[in-house]
């Protein structure tokens, strides 16, 4: 039987996206539940520091059903806006729960022009994710980036967090991102992540890229 990947996260959206991807690779994914008060998220300058800290904490909260070959997954992500020098970055959770999506749009109000391509360049942003996997006593790290831009209005329906305001750049046939305004083999046709479903989001997602990068380093991969 393939090992279970225990994902330490309180975010159902992250869990759902990782489960779709990892089940395609043959893994079972279960949520590792830990009381919020018992977890500490360091306010660090790097996503990797946060991810490593979460792995070390998860090791103190292993469930009884944890099997010999099972693995622990944590992942830390953030939205980095170019015109704001990478803000909110590692402060994404705080910014989302305080000023929210409309607040971010307001911060960028002055960066809109008639021309959609130059607006997309002025409003460039990227999601970044760092995933860490504990496997047989070792920690493996994977990173993923999804470039795009911040839309000028909310487009919601699906997703979580900043999904309603983030429009990924199109991708070419090899899934490499293209410059703003270029149509590619993979496209959301100007829709935000919030306006597409998670299977479609996973084609672009920083999270999936981090997981692909991470799982490609496993000896059996
Ligand atoms: P954990 O319990 O796994 O830590 P979290 O919600 O705190 O979940 P992160 O620290 O990884 O998640 O991400 C910080 C915030 O960045 C998150 O709360 C969202 O607002 C935003 N974010 C991260 N990934 C996102 C995505 O794929 N789509 C939209 N927003 C995202």
Residue 127: CA count within 13 A, CB half-sphere:
27
Q: How far is the CA of 10 from the centre of ligand 1 (A)?
A: 10
77 versus 38: which is more confidently predicted?
A: 77
CA of 51 to the centre of ligand 1 (A): 12
58 φ, ψ to 5°? -60, -35
pLDDT at 41 over 80: no
Dihedrals phi, psi of 80, to nearest 5 degrees: -115, 115
**Residue from 52, 70, 87, 74 nearest 4 by CA:** 70
The pLDDT-based confidence of 105 (bands split at 50, 70, 90) is very high
| pLDDT(2) > 90 | no
Q: Which residues line ligand 1 (CB under 6 A)?
A: 9-11, 14, 76-79, 92-93, 96, 127, 159-163, 193, 207
Pairwise CA distance, residues 74 & 29, whole Å: 12
Give mean pLDDT, residues 91-118. 94
Tokens 């149509």 map to which residue?
183
| Residue 43 pLDDT class (50, 70, 90 cuts) | confident
Q: pLDDT tier at 15 (50, 70, 90 boundaries)?
A: very high
* Residue of the CA atom closest to atom 6 of ligand 1: 11
DSSP label of 15: H
């991708």: which residue's tokens? 171
Helix (H, G, I), strand (E, B) or coil at 95: helix
Mean pLDDT of the chain: 92
The pLDDT assigned to 193 comes to 97
Pocket residue to mutate for ligand 1, from 31, 78, 163, 196, most atoms within 8 A of Cβ: 78
pLDDT at 1: 66
CB 15 within 8 A of CB 74: no
Where do runs of H (alpha helix) occur along 128-219?
198-202, 206-215
pLDDT digits (tens, 9 = 90+) for 158-194: 899 999 999 999 999 999 999 999 999 999 999 999 9
- Of all protein residues, the one whose alpha carbon is nearest to atom 3 of ligand 1 is 9
| Residues annotated as part of the active site | 76
Nearest CA to ligand 1 atom 21: 161
Percent of the chain with pLDDT over 70: 99
Q: How many whole angstroms from 145 Cα to the centroid of ligand 1?
A: 14
Cα separation of 175 and 48, whole Å?
Answer: 24
Q: What is the pLDDT of residue 220?
A: 61
Confidence at residue 203, expressed as pLDDT on a 0 to 100 scale: 95
Instruction: Give residue 157's pLDDT.
Output: 87
């Amino acid at each position: 039987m393939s090992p279970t990947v225990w994902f330490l996260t309180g975010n159902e959206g992250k869990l759902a996206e990782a489960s779709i991807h990892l089940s395609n690779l043959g893994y079972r994914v279960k949520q590792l539940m830990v009381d919020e008060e018992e977890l500490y998220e360091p306010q660090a300058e790097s996503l990797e520091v946060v991810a490593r800290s979460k792995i070390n904490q998860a090791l103190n909260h292993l469930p009884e059903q944890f099997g010999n070959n099972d693995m622990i997954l944590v992942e830390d992500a953030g939205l980095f806006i170019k015109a704001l020098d990478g803000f909110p970055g590692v402060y994404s959770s705080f910014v989302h729960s305080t000023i929210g999506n409309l607040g971010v749009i307001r911060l960028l109000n002055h960066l809109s022009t008639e021309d959609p391509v130059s607006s997309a360049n002025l409003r460039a942003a990227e999601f970044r994710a760092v995933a860490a996997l504990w496997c047989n006593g070792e920690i493996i790290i994977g990173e993923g980036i999804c470039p795009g831009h911040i839309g000028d209005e909310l487009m919601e329906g699906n997703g979580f967090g900043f999904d309603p305001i983030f429009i990924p750049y199109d991708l070419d046939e090899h899934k490499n991102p293209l410059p703003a305004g270029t149509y590619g083999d993979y496209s959301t046709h100007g829709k935000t992540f919030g306006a597409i479903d998670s299977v479609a989001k996973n084609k672009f997602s920083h999270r999936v890229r981090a997981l692909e990068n991470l799982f490609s380093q496993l000896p059996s991969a």
